[in-house]
Amino acid sequence: MKKLFAIAILATIILGTSCQQQQPVTQTPEPTPESNTTIEDILSRRSIRAYKEQDVPRDLLNQIVECGIWAPNGMNAQQWEVRIVDSKEWLDNITAAYKESVKGTPTERMVEQPEFKNMFRNAPAVIFVAHKPGHCTQVDCGLMAGNMMLAATSLDLGSICMMGPIGFFRTEEGKPFLESLNLSEGYELLLCVGIGYADEEPKPTPRNMDVVQYVE
């Protein structure tokens, strides 16, 4: 009987392990007992697209941006510039111009939805990151954005990285808003990070651990 029990346990372990191997998609990352708050924040961070109508205090925005500036970057060249917009008026104005520009296109329906508050996935504060195009600068800015989003998570704030809205700044209608960001000569807008108090709890999006291999 004891032997049968042992075999059953062994089979469960083996089957369980092989199922995990066959199903590389991680649905809900579970912090392990060795996890710390950094790991928990990394695993629990989600892109947020619905925010409460609550301003983000500037001291928190400053902390988030400082964490971004402390990101590793190629040769510490820091070929980046950061602009923070928490003005509802600015965000509403650019969104109005964007809405006007998509009239008659398939995007028009999306911007007319009641849940569409602004073109930055409704975030009440947006951090714009520009780079002076160079060998490492896109990677640098991505690391900066990653730091910012993790800092936001640790401060109980929601966040989202976005490249979609950047295209609008290159249009004729978007030009005045690009100018208002006052970027230095040679700098190009690359991405933005929306920040705010989350008004949703999205489920984790699938991840594929099969892409990882140890090389012996």
Interface contacts to ligand FMN, rule CB under 6 A: 46-47, 49, 121, 160-164, 191, 205
Q: To the nearest whole angstrom, how small is the minimum distance from the Cβ of residue 204 to ligand FMN?
A: 7
> Rounded to whole angstroms, how far apart are CA atoms 56 and 47?
17
Strands (E) in the chain, as ranges, are 25-26, 80-85, 125-131, 158-162, 188-196, 207-208
At 195 the three-state DSSP class reads strand
> Rounded to whole angstroms, how far apart are CA atoms 59 and 146?
19
Residue 67: in which H helix or E strand, if any? Answer: helix 58-69
Q: To the nearest whole angstrom, how small is the minimum distance from the Cβ of residue 115 to ligand FMN?
A: 13
CB nearer to ligand FMN: give 18 or 38.
Answer: 38
CB nearer to ligand FMN: give 11 or 163.
Answer: 163
CB nearer to ligand FMN: give 29 or 74.
Answer: 29
Cα angle 214, 24, 164; round to 5: 100
Nearest position to ligand FMN, beta carbon: 164
CB nearer to ligand FMN: give 42 or 181.
Answer: 42
Q: To the nearest whole angstrom, how small is the minimum distance from the Cβ of residue 7 to ligand FMN?
A: 40
Q: To the nearest whole angstrom, how small is the minimum distance from the Cβ of residue 10 to ligand FMN?
A: 36
| DSSP state for residue 141 in the 8-state scheme | H
Q: Classify strands 80-85 and 25-26 as parallel, antiparallel or unpaired.
A: unpaired
CB nearer to ligand FMN: give 163 or 185.
Answer: 163
**CA 196 from centroid of its chain's CA atoms:** 12
Q: To the nearest whole angstrom, how small is the minimum distance from the Cβ of residue 138 to ligand FMN?
A: 9
